[in-house]
Structure formats: structure tokens, C-alpha cells
Structure 1
Amino acid sequence: MLRPARVLPVAAIAASLAMTTFFAASSASAAGANYVALGDSYSAGVGAGSYLSDSGSCKRSTNAYAYLWKNAHAPSSFRFVACSGARTGDVLNNQISALSSSTTLVSITIGGNDAGFGDTMKTCVLSSDSDCLNAVNSGENYARNTLPGQLDRVYDAIHAKAPRAHVVVLGYPHLYKVGGSCIFGIGDTKRAAIDKAADTLDEVIAKRAADHGFAFGDVRGIFAGHEICGSSTAWLHSTTLPVDESYHPKAAGQSGGYLPVFSRS
């Protein structure tokens, strides 16, 4: 059965759950939150540098939006379990256990790896336009037909483990500014197809989040102009070393893009 959407902003979690007198959303009220950050590399902060030594190959960054929010608001508790490469099954098997009935705030990005984001980007960078378009179409078909059920299982598990939590599901940005300033790299046919795939993925994620009563944080607008080939400072890596940081937000993308969207969702 679908649940009604929660509408409390992130900063009001503690005020709504723990205080007897209403206060406007503020960092003081956020201090009462029990926050768990789930998800994949976009939540872990891959590409943002400053990785926590105990996170290993998960590459959790102190520049990730979740860690930045924690530093700004000093919640009562903070569990940071997002991990590079995570799929929906990894969240269920390795991350959900961080939640409890006392959890009041949850953030997550998930679904891109299930839909084959990494393989699609590899094909688009190394192969022909037609191969790229075929890979994108395959990923979009997966997102429309298979991913919804996988997201439902994750979202159901989050609600079951943390029934009082305000859950913010964040989406993925467009990677490229089509018709932008890049001279080298892939062409606009591929760039447009990759951005279209992000739209499809975000639409599926937003619908499933809404149907479970979760907030959806759409980052596409705030990243506009900061994509690869954009006219402003790029918030996303193009092909880079280490390779796993390619096509991920830089520290500026976490602080300037993901953090404000999360904070107001």
C-alpha cells in the first residue's frame, strides 16, 4: 500500500520528532537527527577526494554531501555507509543494517549501477555512435522495466527498518552540456543520448520515491552550466585518473550541487 508523502524539510527532522515546542528549521533542530547516508558512489563522494581511511574501496569522502551536512548540523548520530559501485542488492545486503527504529533521516542515491551506467559510459567513450546509442537504449529499457521493482525492494526495506525517518532520494545530473565548449572527447550525439538516459533514470527514481512517500532531490537544474563542456566551472570529472572517478562529481559538485538540494528536500 502506498504511503502519503512526507513533506518535512531535512532541517526540521529533530523539531518534528523530538521537541514539544515548534521551532523553524535550523541547524539547532537538525542537531537532534539520527542520520544514515546510504547509496552508491555519488553518495559516497567518489571523485571528491579526501577519502576516509577506513572506507577502503568504498571511497567515502569527507567532501561528500552527507559528510558536509553532518559537519554543518552536528546530528545526534551519523552512519555513513554509502559505497562505490553499490547496486540495489548491495544496499539490501550491506547497508540497510545501519538503519534502526531511531533513525530520523536517510539519504540515498541508487540505481545507476543497476542500469549499467559504467558499461554504458565505457561503450560511449570507446565505440561508435551507434554502439553508444544501443547501450543507452539498453540501459533505458532496464531502467523502465526492471529497476522499478528493485527500487521498491530497497525503499520498502528502508521504511521497514526506519519507519519514522524522513527519506531523501537524490537523482543524477546531466553529465554533458550539449553544444558546449568541449573541442575534444565524444560528440554531441553521444552526449545528448547520455543526458537523455539520465532523464529516464531520474524519472523512474522520482516516481518510485514519490509512491513510497519519500522526497526526491532533483540535481539536474542546479548542475546546469556546470556539466562537462559547460560554460561555468565544471562540477563533474570527464575521463580522468583514477578511472573510477570519471563522470563523478568533484568536491564542488558535492558542496555546490548535492548538498543544497539535499538540505532543502
Structure 2
Amino acid sequence: MTNMAIYCPNPACGKALKSGAKFCGYCGTVIASEPKPVPVPEHAASAPAPKPATRPADTFRAVNRMPQGIALGTDEQIVKKYTVGRYTLRQGAIDVIVTNKRVIRYEESNWLGLQSNRIDEVNIDAVHGVSCTMARSASIVGLAVAGLLSIVGLLFLFGAFNSRRMDYTMLFMGAIFLGIAVVILVNSFRPSMVFSIQGALGSSALETSVNVLGRMFGRNNSSIIFQFRPTAETTVMLKEIGACIYDLKTLGDKAIEKWR
């Protein structure tokens, strides 16, 4: 490697010196050492600059978001949400939503492509009582239809076997009617629940027939009563919704964190 000449930094001297000299041999001026340049690879110039690490987006608290897009009022927050009912022969569910301002019942179902939605609500300050009954009941209409289909199916079977030759058409029809009757009979015995939130001093909601689904009763009260097939969350709601409403009425917003 060829030694490169450097010059004395003293303007009065300016003599050429050997590369790496620490001082000028003519005037004694100290030569300041320069930092060596770091070689940069050719491909580094075209490489994109690394992006700074980004923080993951904060997870939105689901408890503060009303399901199904139901709007919240001013200073209103969701406290509890229960999916308390589902339909078997159609898609859909029933939710009970407790906020610090309201108790909301929301129903959504889809039957043969027909979408239906329903919402009932009671102001939390107007709730005077909660009533709930769970039982395993039988549908009288279902039992009657199952019995009628069973008779028709048996008549087809008797006709198939009493003929000189086996009538497979009647045998097939009889089997179909009996199969449908068994399905209806099994579904006629099912657990059921009647849930009532009473928003008035009267007792009309508690005395109304349980066969009415999701209907508002009386002119001067704001009660909600409905019947459906319960879910796993139903029992949880039964045990705590009364205490939750009581705390929200007595403690106000201080009870929100307790029940979340």
C-alpha cells in the first residue's frame, strides 16, 4: 500500500509529511488524528430503511360495545350481557343486556331467510321486580300434531301390510309420517323459562299467561315478559341479575366495575 502524504496544519509551515505522522518535524505542530471512514457496501445504499417498531393496537373492551349495534345513551355503559335463549328450529338468540341506565331485551332470528329483530327495554330506575320460572314443559300443540301424524302413519302401514302384495309406497309414506311424529314428539318436551322484569307497581306482568312471547303488558307499566328455551347463561342470570339491578339503583355508577 502506498503511503499518502499529509500536510502540516500550521499555515506558516505547510510542509508535506508522511502519512500517520503525529507531529510536524519542521515546526512541531501536533497533527490531529482523523477518524477512519467506515466503508459502506454498495447494496446498503439501495436497501430500505428499517421501519420503527410499532405498538400493537389497544384492544377495545368488548364490554363497552353494545352488541348488534344498539346505541348507547349519554354516560351509558354496558354492565352485564347474557345470551339467555336460543331457538332450535330457526337461527336466533335472545340477549338480556344490563346497562347503568336500562335493562334491554334483544331478540334476533332468521327463519327460512326471513330476518326479524325485536328490542324491549326498561329504565333501570323504574324496575320494581324480577320474576323468573324455569321448568320442563310439554307443548300441547306439539303433542296433538304428533298424535295426528302417528295415526296417519299407522293407517298407511296397516294398508301396506293388509294388501295381497306389499305396497312399498304406502310403507314408505307410513314411515315418513311416523318419523315426523317422533321428531315433533321429542321436541314437544323441552326446558322452558318465563322471565319477567316488572317496571310498575302493579302485578299484571306476573299474572299474564306464559304463552305470550316478548309482549309488553298494561298501559301504565313498562314490564317485559318472554318465554324461550334457556341456555347455559340463563342460570347465571337468574342468580345475579336481581342483585346487579339493586346495586345499580342504590350505588349508581360505583357498581359498574363490581359487576363487570
TM-score range, shorter chain: under 0.3
Larger radius of gyration: 2
Task: Report the TM-score when normalising by structure 1.
Answer: 0.23
Task: Report the TM-score when normalising by structure 2.
Answer: 0.23
More helix by share: 1
More strand by share: 2
